[in-house]
């Protein structure tokens, strides 16, 4: 029986993927400590709030990518495991600089699509709210006022208080890149008992995200962020293939 050698795994992981995993895990642990000992949830500062929310801050555009839910260990586990499994292969092929650029652009692209969809979904009710209260923007005073059961805009207030966190958008971009570069590589996806080619895994992930995103039945998962990461990843790969001749 072989022992699970964490040191060997880290030694075999290229630097960018390794550092991304370390940063994500370190921030997750730090948030647990802040919650436990200071009663401060960093997600309320570093998570991405909807653009019309008074809690939205510019730095959240980047910081939300390194935050994960403190109460859902599987959230960070599966993201980091996928980043390790597929990201290390891409970094070894592309080099660290190109992989980091790809990771960040797909993560930001995922944020852009998610923020746009969220804005469009909330826009009609926000327009009604502004007209009702004769205001140009929503501030904390107004948000606290409508955050009362019975207020006709209560549900909107709740939506404006929900931050988005996680590296899933960038990770879906990484999965897309692996599927494009190695479409016929077979993968074992739990709980499916048979191997599936990477191209079908990518297509299935995109279809599931689209269906759940459009149906609104995907719970509190940002499915359009997943699609955004894949879309921006595909565009970037096509651009690189057309305009560059090296991978670094």
Q: What is the per-residue pLDDT across 97-122, written as a single tens digit (0 to 9) for each?
A: 999 999 999 999 999 999 999 999 99
**Residue 84 per-residue DSSP state:** I
Dist CA 31 CA 68 (whole Å) = 9
What is the predicted pLDDT for the residue at 9?
A: 56
Strands 186-187 and 196-197: antiparallel
pTM of the model: 0.90
Position 1 pLDDT exceeds 50: no
Instruction: Say what percent of the chain tops pLDDT 70.
Output: 92
Question: pLDDT per residue over 48-92, tens digit each?
Answer: 999 999 999 999 999 999 999 877 788 899 999 999 999 999 999
- Nearest residue to 111 (alpha-carbon basis) of 54, 178, 63, 43: 63
Dist CA 136 CA 75 (whole Å) = 37
Question: pLDDT per residue over 189-225, tens digit each?
Answer: 777 778 889 999 999 999 988 888 888 766 678 889 9
Residue 112 phi/psi, 5-degree rounding, is -60, -45
Question: pLDDT per residue over 128-154, tens digit each?
Answer: 999 999 999 999 999 999 998 899 999
Question: pLDDT averaged over the chain?
Answer: 90
Question: pLDDT per residue over 4-26, tens digit each?
Answer: 455 555 568 899 999 999 999 99
Domains and CATH numbers, the chain: 6-243 (1.20.1540.10)
Instruction: Let me know: does 173 contact 232? Beta carbons within 8 Å.
Output: yes
Computed from CA positions of residues 218, 224, 229, 233, in that sequence, does the dihedral angle turn out positive or negative? positive
């Amino acid at each position: 029986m072989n022992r699970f050698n964490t040191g060997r795994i880290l030694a075999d992981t290229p630097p960018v993927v390794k550092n991304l995993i370390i940063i994500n895990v370190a921030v997750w642990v730090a948030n647990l400590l802040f919650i436990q000992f200071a009663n401060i949830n960093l997600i309320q500062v570093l998570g991405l709030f909807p653009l019309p929310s008074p809690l939205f801050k510019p730095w959240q555009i980047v910081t939300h990518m390194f935050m994960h839910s403190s109460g859902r260990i599987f959230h960070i586990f599966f993201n980091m495991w996928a980043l390790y499994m597929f990201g290390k292969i891409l970094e070894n092929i592309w080099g660290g600089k190109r992989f980091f650029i790809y990771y960040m652009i797909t993560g930001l692209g995922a944020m852009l699509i998610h923020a746009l969809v969220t804005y469009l979904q909330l826009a009609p009710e926000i327009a009604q709210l502004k007209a009702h209260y004769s205001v140009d923007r929503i501030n904390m005073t107004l948000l606290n006022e409508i955050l009362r059961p019975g207020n006709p805009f209560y549900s909107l207030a709740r939506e404006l208080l929900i931050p988005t966190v996680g590296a899933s958008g960038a990770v879906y971009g990484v999965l897309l890149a692996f599927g494009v570069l190695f479409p016929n590589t077979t993968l074992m996806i739990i709980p499916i008992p048979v191997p599936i080619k990477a191209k079908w895994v990518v297509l299935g992930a995109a279809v599931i995200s689209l269906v759940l995103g459009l149906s609104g039945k995907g719970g509190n998962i940002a499915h359009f962020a997943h699609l955004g990461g894949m879309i921006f990843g595909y565009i970037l790969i096509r651009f690189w293939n057309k305009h560059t001749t090296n991978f670094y």
